[in-house]
Structure 1
Amino acid sequence: MNIILSKIAKILMCQIIIMLMSVNVYAQCINKAEPPGTMPGEFSINGTRVSVVGDGDGLANATNNVPIKICEGETITLKNTISATSTTGVNYWLMPASQYGSLTIPPSNPATANASYSSLSGDVSVTVNTSTSWYSGPGIYVITQGDNSGNGITSDYHHACQVVEIIKPSTPVVTYSVCNGDMIRVKLEANANNNYEEYTVRFTAIGSSFNPSFNVRPASYPTLVSSGPIPNRLDRVFTVQGQSKTGTCPAPVYTSPSISMTGTTIARPLISSITGTATPSEFEMAVFAQNNIQRKVFMRDPLTTVNYDYTNPVLNYTSTSTTTFDLVKVIVPNANRQYCFRTEAVDANCPVTTNVNLANLSSEEVCTTPANLTMVNSAVQVSWLRALTTITGGVYSDYRVERLLTDGVTIDKFFPAINNISTLTLTDDDVVCGKDYIYRVITNYGQKSTSQLLKIRATSTNPLAKITNVFADVQATNNLINVKGTFESGTGEPLPAEMLEYRFYRADSPNGSYQFLQATVPTINTINDATADINKQSYCYYMTWKDLCDRESVPSEKVCSIFLSSLVSVINWTPESSFSTTTDFYRVNKIDPITRQVIKPLADNLRNTYTFNTQGLPDSEGQVIYLQIEAKPTTGSISQNTRSNIAKIYRPSLLLSPDAFTPNNDGVNDKFIIYGKFIQKLKMTIFDHWGNAIFYDETDNFASNTQLGWDGTLKNGEKAIQGMYVFRLEAEDTTGQSITKEGTLFLTY
């Protein structure tokens, strides 16, 4: 390859045409070290494009020693720019770096070529040493300038130097993508063809006034060049051409195919809410969906961090259009601390090279609402962390607390909204001990933040009310004892919903050991004790109740069933009260043995007595009487009277006979008559003193034949003589019991 040099038309101008390629061999200008007070040399390359001053003073990082890239075949103009009227000539040397390092400055015989001129006459001459070929292809070269033909020792000599890299111009290697449907992003790849100092990228479209152009100086590869948002959707073409610093590089141009601008415009994600799930530390964000768009989720702890770490997303996911909102689950490190979240929409075609694309970052953030439940004085206290005064895209509005049913969905109870941001607790005293409750706390910023579902079983330190009204009633018809208890109104009586059960205890005597007998559900406050032998003894009872926390109340007052017993015609009953209050009075009732219903009271208003003698009753009440004791309480708190077992009373029958009679027809004691009580049948036989039966009579209905007897007449109709006689009575009372009585009687006239 030949050296091409052309003549510069003006004084102080020199054009050198160089055809070159590049290699990475670096050189450094030799430091001439001019004497103090001497100006360094100066020259320009292609006018104002490049200005070279001095030789870099031996510093490797000096501008003179950083290679300027020049394209092979590019024409460059070298011009002395020092202001020195005494300068009479300028020489330039161009040589490969490999040769330059062994030369002194200036060389006595230039190895390349020199261009000299006279500042006085304006003549320019170009001399080429044809015996030396200085160009060896693309690589590192050195350009030096001397403004005097001397040997550099005199003080008017000025030296300048610049290292250059000759590169072979190639078509740039690029890729591209359409971003957000309205932007083209060009990528200058890391490729050997991309060795320019500068590139010009032009975006054009027919019929559009928006045709941006960019000059780019890559610091490294790959390098991205964006068109920016294009205001219309016309198809686009872009070109990329390499440029040298000297500005006249004949580089080939890369031209893209026609690019369609009808892609999807990526929207900023909109976060409407964050809600705690049933899984510990898990929250679900509702993010507006955009089909097949990738998303990133970022998290921060507001106690420790103001800004998000956009280099470290906590979640990556792809949005879907099957629903209006994506429900995105995130896990927080500590459920008791507050965390905030933002999301970014990611253009898969154009991933950002910086931390985050602010244009695609959600305009709002959402923050969790950590909450907690505790029991305080038998009430549930709901507490939560203070909301942030403001968050990105939102301002605090209020707190809301909701109580849910056990399904965790249906709202059981609303509480008034809390507008004071510093109010961080709410007390719910409308709870039942032992029952499970579910709560959630909502912070409204515009965006809604809902805590995780919080569950607690209510406990209580409040004393349990005593069952005040208890009674034990013997139900003889069914051979059992009914025990029932109620609460006195206004004594803190529980609702059935607050109760676990009623409990019944029994002892075989007032001072006996009480044993648990039976429990019932809260809606049943009574039992029928069929295990009690009501005709054998009295039984004593007390009641308690348990709340849903399994706490048991104090026992009620003890009550004892009334046990009725008899001894001949006297009845007795147990004195212990069958009521938790005292007994006002007792009543003795006559009972129908068939229906077991009360026929009538036989005694009433019996107070402080526990016995009754039936002998004082009229015979018309019968020999056998069925009796039952009925008790009435002293207060109206217990409206029901209680009863005893039914006792069967046998009143004794009686046969009375006179010792003598006088059958003299004086109307007084004329007949030997038997007086009987409860006698049904009677047979009477009279014997003389020889044992002969002299009289006999009988009846099966003594009550209607009370005049049955002997008037002293013998069988033959004669009057018996005065004297002693023997009688025999054979009777049967109304119960069928046989009675035999024998004795003597005296007959006198």
Structure 2
Amino acid sequence: MEQVIYRHDFCIKLSKLIEMKMKLNLLTTKKVFGRLVTLVLFAISFGAFAQGPPKPAACNVGNGDGFQDLGKIQAILYNCTDLDKASRSIPVSFEDNGKNYTDVKFYFSVPTDFDLNSPSAANEVAGQKVAGRWIANKTLSPGFHYLLASANDNGTKVKSCTWVEVIDISTAPVVDYSICDPTKVEITLKDDPKNSHEKYVIDWGGTGNKETILKSNITLPHTISRPNTGAEVSVTGWYIRSGNELCNSIPSKINPSVANVPYMDHLELTGQGEGALIKFKNFTAGTKYKLEFSQDGGGGGFNWNVSGDISDGSANIAGLDKTKKYCFRIGATDKCGKVSYSPILCSSNLSATQNGSQSVKLAWNRPSEPSTVPIRITMNKTILNCTTGSCTNRPYINVLDVSMLDNGLNCANTYSYQLTYVFKNSEGKDITVISDMVEVDPKGGSVSIKPLDLVTVGFMANDEETIRIVVGRSDGELYNFYRSNAYANDFFSIGSVLDNQIDDISIDPNSNGYCYKYEFEDVCGILSEPSPEFCTVFLSGNASALNWTPYTFPASVVSNSSDVEYTVEFFDNNVKTWVPRFNTKDTSQGIFDIILNSKESQVKFRVQAKQYVTGTVSPGQFIFSYSNTVVINVPPNVFLPSAFTPNGDGTNDRFEVFQKFIKTSTFVVYDRWGAILFETDNPLIQWDGMDNRGTSPVPAGNYAFRIQGESDAGEKFSKTGTITLIR
């Protein structure tokens, strides 16, 4: 049995050579490679020997297991891991010497109670013959390991053992530091199992400012202090075997200008948002830190509360309000009694609103801290109790998104969703924020189905007696519609239909406005909650102005919208069509000029509302809605001159009454004593200034009159005044 001491860099070269040769199957190179391995092993066989760990009984020849001595097997005694991982691939081999061994096996990490006649397959590696040597390798963790080789030598079972050590250099020395006196830096090598080095090199910063400490000369914990230059300090551990420096660890780096405070690298909500799992790095084992929390108001103001002591890299928090967002920080008290805080880390809360058995809207908040843009965001969608096929997938979302719509649900499944943010901190380390898992059961209704579709409600363009309600989804199996007088909240059923629209004809168009709700039953037989209410535009007015109620959408169904534009239209009887007259964003419009210049006794108006709306679950679109119609009666128009001259010159000889939009009227003239001088109900008959007998002209002077009647629109009117007769 031969043991070999080997330097770290040479170990790597040999290991890689053997691994590479095991992968090659080129017969022409076997002879050359065999000579190379023989020379390397010969060169390293002159190193010093060392005492290994207790030998397993299986390594002893003559222990009753029926195996004879194989002879020497060769392995690298001391093996340093790579800097970035705590393991090492260990090669082992022995010469075939022309014996043509069969059933060659190697066993790694042989335990003390190992039985070669019933070995553990977990540690077994079949040997491969390369260039006259039997070789194998296996990745081992740090520590001492016995290696055993067995073979069949023409019917004789043979074996041999050796041991190796794997030295972990991927872990930095465990140190603590304090700067109670700003002029000095105090570093302590901790009494920690990870500080298994034989030598420490402290680089205090600057040229030639290094210090070497042999572990054999000190007792841990060991404290050293030096002047604080503000430079970064690093502590590197070295491993020494048989007087040789084999390899060094990654360094512990200390920045005296930065407090030695842990940082949180993982925040995950648990327990349906009522708890949290926090993981943190850069901590000192066994040291207690204060965990503080505050509700996240989003504006940077925090009200910190102490949750309790935490230690050793993780903490579970309970008693959170799942409707609130939270932020956390860790406080570290140094030897000087000064408290320093970690960077703040805030939660991301995920919610689900089911829009049907096949659709769910997921919404979340981006953590307010870290305030940087995340480098990655993922949404895990998992089918619960799934045993075959793809049970988890990741719908695409952008790092700036705060919501998504999943229309791919199957009512036979139950789903869970979980959101993960990944940020980079100032040192380039990953910071992970994970929401709680939200469960969606389309058929069981664990998340209520809330109708979030846009609904068009308005009078039909060519039917003044019918309101049409159209729901912006058509995948429901059944729709139930309800009506109420505007804003009275006294909804009652107006019908159930298979289509996504209904025409309401049981209305009084001009008595009131109307509001509507709907609910739908989906393909899984789940009935939604009632929708928010959608109301018509109700128009009213008089001869001076029109007024109408605003056209609005419930806030829950709209994510973005333009201002509402209203078009006032009147009906032109000459062309038998509606004519746009005014455009406005107000909810009133003066119409005096239209009424004054009307050639008809009635004018009919309506209002068209138009708005561009992007729905919560609906794409952007223009929505149109017509109000009820309003008929405005044009007031009767009577014009009477103030004087006339019945002198027979042919000009202004008769008192003429000019009438417009008057169906019937009576015109009466009185003398100063109230006696009737003239009376007629025929607008074509005019007073010529004669008395009531029509025989004698009345003298010049002022005479009272009264005209009364009914307009074409059926309105009663009456007008009185004075006429001046000039002779």
TM-score, with structure 1 as normaliser = 0.32
TM-score, with structure 2 as normaliser = 0.33
